[in-house]
Amino acid sequence: MAIRTLFWDVGGVLLTNAWDRSEREQAVAKFQLDPVDFQDRHEMLVSSFERGKISLDEYLQRTVFYRERPFTIEGFKQYMFSRSQALPEPLALARKLAVSRAVLMCSMNNESAELNRYRIDTFGLRETFDVFISSCFVGLRKPEEGIYRLGLDIVQCSPDECCFIDDRPLNVDAAKALGMHAIRVVNAQQLQADLRKLGVDID
Protein backbone atom coordinates (compact mmCIF):
# COMPACT_ATOMS: atom_id res chain seq x y z
CA MET A 1 0.00 0.00 0.00
CA ALA A 2 1.28 3.48 -0.88
CA ILE A 3 2.67 5.76 1.81
CA ARG A 4 0.26 8.64 2.40
CA THR A 5 1.71 10.21 5.56
CA LEU A 6 5.18 10.83 6.95
CA PHE A 7 5.61 11.42 10.68
CA TRP A 8 8.88 13.21 11.40
CA ASP A 9 10.85 13.58 14.58
CA VAL A 10 12.45 17.04 14.64
CA GLY A 11 15.33 17.05 17.13
CA GLY A 12 18.18 14.91 15.83
CA VAL A 13 16.57 14.58 12.39
CA LEU A 14 15.82 18.04 10.98
CA LEU A 15 17.29 20.22 13.72
CA THR A 16 19.73 19.67 16.52
CA ASN A 17 18.10 18.58 19.75
CA ALA A 18 16.40 21.27 21.80
CA TRP A 19 17.24 20.30 25.38
CA ASP A 20 18.73 16.82 25.31
CA ARG A 21 21.64 15.41 27.33
CA SER A 22 24.34 17.16 25.31
CA GLU A 23 22.62 20.56 25.46
CA ARG A 24 22.05 20.22 29.20
CA GLU A 25 25.67 19.22 29.83
CA GLN A 26 26.88 22.26 27.89
CA ALA A 27 24.58 24.52 29.93
CA VAL A 28 25.78 22.98 33.20
CA ALA A 29 29.38 23.70 32.21
CA LYS A 30 28.72 27.23 30.91
CA PHE A 31 26.68 28.34 33.93
CA GLN A 32 28.75 26.32 36.45
CA LEU A 33 25.82 24.35 37.86
CA ASP A 34 26.14 21.33 40.10
CA PRO A 35 25.70 18.53 37.51
CA VAL A 36 24.29 15.93 39.91
CA ASP A 37 21.83 18.33 41.52
CA PHE A 38 20.68 19.71 38.17
CA GLN A 39 20.23 16.25 36.64
CA ASP A 40 18.26 15.00 39.65
CA ARG A 41 15.94 17.98 39.45
CA HIS A 42 15.62 17.67 35.67
CA GLU A 43 14.67 13.98 35.86
CA MET A 44 11.92 14.76 38.36
CA LEU A 45 10.43 17.44 36.10
CA VAL A 46 11.12 16.43 32.49
CA SER A 47 7.91 14.45 32.01
CA SER A 48 5.74 17.33 33.23
CA PHE A 49 7.86 19.80 31.25
CA GLU A 50 7.55 17.96 27.93
CA ARG A 51 3.85 17.17 28.47
CA GLY A 52 3.05 20.86 28.88
CA LYS A 53 2.13 20.54 32.55
CA ILE A 54 4.66 23.16 33.62
CA SER A 55 6.06 26.16 31.76
CA LEU A 56 9.68 26.85 30.90
CA ASP A 57 9.81 29.45 33.68
CA GLU A 58 8.47 26.92 36.21
CA TYR A 59 10.95 24.30 35.04
CA LEU A 60 13.88 26.70 35.38
CA GLN A 61 12.73 28.00 38.76
CA ARG A 62 12.86 24.44 40.08
CA THR A 63 16.01 23.22 38.34
CA VAL A 64 18.26 26.31 38.29
CA PHE A 65 16.77 29.38 39.97
CA TYR A 66 15.70 27.80 43.26
CA ARG A 67 18.53 29.90 44.67
CA GLU A 68 20.19 33.17 43.68
CA ARG A 69 22.38 33.03 40.58
CA PRO A 70 24.87 35.48 39.02
CA PHE A 71 22.91 35.28 35.73
CA THR A 72 19.29 35.92 34.81
CA ILE A 73 16.54 33.55 33.83
CA GLU A 74 16.17 35.44 30.53
CA GLY A 75 19.85 34.97 29.80
CA PHE A 76 19.58 31.27 30.52
CA LYS A 77 16.54 30.93 28.26
CA GLN A 78 18.29 32.72 25.41
CA TYR A 79 21.17 30.27 25.76
CA MET A 80 18.72 27.34 25.61
CA PHE A 81 17.13 28.72 22.44
CA SER A 82 20.53 29.30 20.84
CA ARG A 83 21.35 25.59 20.98
CA SER A 84 18.82 24.90 18.20
CA GLN A 85 20.45 24.74 14.76
CA ALA A 86 19.24 23.42 11.41
CA LEU A 87 20.56 20.16 9.98
CA PRO A 88 20.65 21.49 6.40
CA GLU A 89 20.48 18.33 4.26
CA PRO A 90 17.58 16.49 5.90
CA LEU A 91 15.70 19.76 6.42
CA ALA A 92 16.06 20.56 2.71
CA LEU A 93 14.80 17.07 1.91
CA ALA A 94 11.73 17.53 4.10
CA ARG A 95 11.02 20.93 2.56
CA LYS A 96 11.25 19.47 -0.93
CA LEU A 97 8.74 16.78 -0.01
CA ALA A 98 6.44 19.39 1.49
CA VAL A 99 6.47 21.40 -1.74
CA SER A 100 5.74 18.29 -3.79
CA ARG A 101 2.54 17.57 -1.82
CA ALA A 102 3.16 13.88 -2.49
CA VAL A 103 2.51 12.96 1.14
CA LEU A 104 0.98 14.49 4.23
CA MET A 105 3.79 15.91 6.38
CA CYS A 106 3.42 15.65 10.17
CA SER A 107 5.86 16.29 12.99
CA MET A 108 5.82 14.06 16.07
CA ASN A 109 8.23 15.12 18.76
CA ASN A 110 8.88 15.40 22.49
CA GLU A 111 9.42 19.07 23.33
CA SER A 112 8.38 21.68 25.85
CA ALA A 113 5.94 24.31 24.60
CA GLU A 114 8.26 27.31 24.55
CA LEU A 115 11.10 25.49 22.79
CA ASN A 116 8.65 23.90 20.37
CA ARG A 117 7.14 27.25 19.38
CA TYR A 118 10.58 28.88 19.10
CA ARG A 119 11.80 26.15 16.75
CA ILE A 120 8.63 26.19 14.63
CA ASP A 121 8.91 29.98 14.22
CA THR A 122 12.68 30.24 13.81
CA PHE A 123 13.06 27.48 11.23
CA GLY A 124 9.82 28.08 9.31
CA LEU A 125 8.45 24.65 10.09
CA ARG A 126 4.87 25.68 9.32
CA GLU A 127 5.96 25.73 5.68
CA THR A 128 7.09 22.11 5.99
CA PHE A 129 4.45 20.44 8.16
CA ASP A 130 0.70 20.15 7.76
CA VAL A 131 0.22 18.84 11.31
CA PHE A 132 2.19 19.21 14.55
CA ILE A 133 1.87 16.46 17.14
CA SER A 134 4.02 17.78 19.97
CA SER A 135 4.15 16.17 23.41
CA CYS A 136 3.63 19.54 25.10
CA PHE A 137 0.23 19.96 23.42
CA VAL A 138 -1.10 16.40 23.38
CA GLY A 139 0.15 15.29 26.83
CA LEU A 140 1.81 12.15 25.43
CA ARG A 141 5.47 11.37 24.75
CA LYS A 142 7.28 8.99 22.46
CA PRO A 143 7.73 6.05 22.74
CA GLU A 144 4.30 5.75 24.41
CA GLU A 145 1.88 3.88 22.17
CA GLY A 146 -0.76 6.55 22.68
CA ILE A 147 1.04 9.27 20.76
CA TYR A 148 1.43 7.07 17.68
CA ARG A 149 -2.24 6.02 17.84
CA LEU A 150 -3.25 9.66 18.19
CA GLY A 151 -1.21 10.50 15.09
CA LEU A 152 -2.94 7.77 13.11
CA ASP A 153 -6.35 8.97 14.29
CA ILE A 154 -5.59 12.57 13.34
CA VAL A 155 -4.45 11.78 9.80
CA GLN A 156 -7.05 9.01 9.34
CA CYS A 157 -4.58 6.58 7.79
CA SER A 158 -3.90 2.94 8.51
CA PRO A 159 -0.45 2.11 9.96
CA ASP A 160 0.78 0.60 6.69
CA GLU A 161 0.02 3.89 4.90
CA CYS A 162 2.38 5.76 7.24
CA CYS A 163 6.10 6.02 7.79
CA PHE A 164 7.65 7.25 11.02
CA ILE A 165 11.09 8.88 10.88
CA ASP A 166 13.30 9.23 13.97
CA ASP A 167 16.93 8.95 15.05
CA ARG A 168 16.24 6.87 18.19
CA PRO A 169 15.83 3.09 17.98
CA LEU A 170 13.29 2.91 20.83
CA ASN A 171 10.97 5.40 19.12
CA VAL A 172 11.35 3.60 15.79
CA ASP A 173 10.61 0.22 17.36
CA ALA A 174 7.43 1.58 18.98
CA ALA A 175 6.14 2.73 15.59
CA LYS A 176 6.97 -0.61 14.00
CA ALA A 177 5.10 -2.41 16.77
CA LEU A 178 1.90 -0.68 15.61
CA GLY A 179 2.45 -1.76 12.02
CA MET A 180 3.86 1.53 10.74
CA HIS A 181 6.80 1.67 8.39
CA ALA A 182 9.71 3.27 10.19
CA ILE A 183 13.12 4.66 9.31
CA ARG A 184 15.93 5.28 11.75
CA VAL A 185 17.86 8.26 10.38
CA VAL A 186 21.64 8.04 10.12
CA ASN A 187 22.18 10.70 7.46
CA ALA A 188 20.29 12.47 4.69
CA GLN A 189 21.49 10.14 1.93
CA GLN A 190 20.38 7.03 3.81
CA LEU A 191 17.04 8.67 4.63
CA GLN A 192 16.40 9.54 1.01
CA ALA A 193 17.31 6.01 -0.10
CA ASP A 194 15.02 4.41 2.49
CA LEU A 195 12.13 6.68 1.52
CA ARG A 196 12.59 5.72 -2.12
CA LYS A 197 12.39 2.03 -1.17
CA LEU A 198 8.95 2.82 0.26
CA GLY A 199 7.90 4.53 -2.98
CA VAL A 200 8.26 8.08 -1.66
CA ASP A 201 10.02 9.84 -4.52
CA ILE A 202 11.77 13.05 -3.59
CA ASP A 203 12.48 14.21 -7.16
pLDDT at position 202, please? 81
CB 167 within 8 A of CB 15: no
pLDDT at position 73, please? 98
pLDDT at position 152, please? 98
Q: Is 12 left (phi over 0), alpha (psi -120 to 50) or beta?
A: left
The domain made up of 5-16+86-197 is a member of CATH 3.40.50.1000: yes
For the chain, which residues score pLDDT lower than 70?
none
pTM of the model: 0.95
Domains 5-16+86-197 and 21-82 fall in the same CATH topology? no
pLDDT at position 7, please? 98
Could you tell me the CA-to-CA distances from 83 to 23, 79, 95, 138 in Å, in that order?
7, 7, 22, 24
pLDDT at position 92, please? 97
The domain segmentation of the chain, as residue ranges, is 5-16+86-197, 21-82
pLDDT at position 157, please? 97
pLDDT at position 201, please? 82
Fold of 21-82: DNA polymerase; domain 1 (1.10.150)
